[in-house]
Amino acid sequence: MTTTETLTPARGVPPGRILMRELDARGWTQRDLAQIMERPPQAINEIVKGSKQITPETALELSEAFGTSPEFWTNLEANYRLFLARQEKIQKDITRRSRLYSLAPIPELITRSWIKPARSTDQLEKEVCAFLGIASPDETPVVNVSLRHTQERGPEHGALVAWVKRVEHLARLQRAEDFEQAKLKKAIPEILSLASRVEDAARVPSALLNLGVRFVIVPHLPKTFVDGAVLYLDKSPVVALSLRYDRIDAFWFTLMHELAHIVARHREIHLDVLYGADNGLANVSGQEQEANNMACDWLVDQEALDEFIEEVKPYFSKSGIERFAQSQHRHPGIVLGQLHHRKAVDYKNLRSLLVKVSPFVGNYIDTAGVRRGRSN
């Protein structure tokens, strides 16, 4: 049977070990061999310990001393040094791959086709560095972004950075009008006019692009629990959502929260808590609280909501919420989301109003690394 595969030993045999076996077989000491070869005893000892290599000249002398061929000793030395070189390379590759895996969740990036599968560490390093926008794995990827995610769960930093980088890649593919801060602020009511019917969520991306705001949806990576973000590319804003909670209330609150950051000129990094069933909006301050308040006020008239709660509590019916939502020109799921947050309605109740948004914004969801929607 023939094979083209190159077989490599699992363990390299040091020439010094074979040398000691030859000495033991003859009852010689290292000093005896040194006298035979007219070499310093230290030289023989260094060969035995592996700190000194067997040169062609030494191989000739050993062959004369032991009655072997010179090639026997040169081959032993060459094979052992090759084994050590391979081991060193393996160790270096392990260290390099360890660093890459600490920078980003590599298997997930490959699964989503964000990077190509790599057959070598060099290729993997090239793919990861290109994705993260760094010249070397020794660099730390930088993201200048306003992030909303659940702080209590401690997202994995590398996965969070990778999510943001994917957002950047997709946003750069989009064509948007020139951004004007005042124009966006003035257009908030126009954007909110799309919040009464779930199917109108499909019109949000193009409305934002016309205002100079890029919009993408990238499903969150494991351990990130990210809900949305605002980042800036060439001074133009990008709004990104993950649809981790595929509900109309979470979609609209997260969207308006991110737009509030832009309108309020917030540029610092923000770590928020999701508006959802398992988290509230309490215990936040500063710019985050400002963005939360702006989003709530934009979505539902808070004084009118107070009056509605006082009027009907503790019994909230689906028809009653639908009537109030119609008076606000909002989808009833958005109103229910605020009632859930205020704990006026138990999170388990009336959840049929919390319809999914993904069927209507599917063209802007990054699926298996394929970007769909308007682009250059």
Tokens of 25: 């077989």
Sign (positive or negative) of CA dihedral 228, 170, 200, 210:
positive
- CB burial of 339-365 (b: ≥16 within 10 Å; e: otherwise) equals bbbeebbeeeebeebbbbbeebbeebb
What is the mean pLDDT of the segment spanning 211-231? 90
Distance, CA of 79 to CA of 81 (rounded, Å)? 6
What is the mean pLDDT of the segment spanning 8-21? 80
Residues 6+ apart with CB under 8 A from 340: 249, 277, 346, 347
Q: What local confidence, expressed as pLDDT, does residue 100 receive?
A: 94
pLDDT tens-place string over residues 156-201: 788 989 999 999 999 999 999 999 999 999 999 999 999 999 999 9
Instruction: Evaluate whether 237 touches 176 at the Cβ level (below 8 Å).
Output: no
Tokens of 193: 């006019």
Distance, CA of 306 to CA of 304 (rounded, Å)? 5
| Pairing of β 226-233 and β 214-217 | unpaired
pLDDT tens-place string over residues 330-369: 999 999 999 999 999 999 999 999 999 999 999 889 975 4
SS3 325: helix
218 exposed, middle or buried (CB, 10 Å; 0-12, 13-18, 19+)? buried
Q: Where are the domains of the chain?
A: 15-99, 104-132, 145-299+356-364
Question: What element of type H or E holds 292?
Answer: helix 286-299
Topology at the third CATH level for domain 15-99: 434 Repressor (Amino-terminal Domain) (1.10.260)
Q: What local confidence, expressed as pLDDT, does residue 155 receive?
A: 57
Distance, CA of 117 to CA of 124 (rounded, Å)? 7
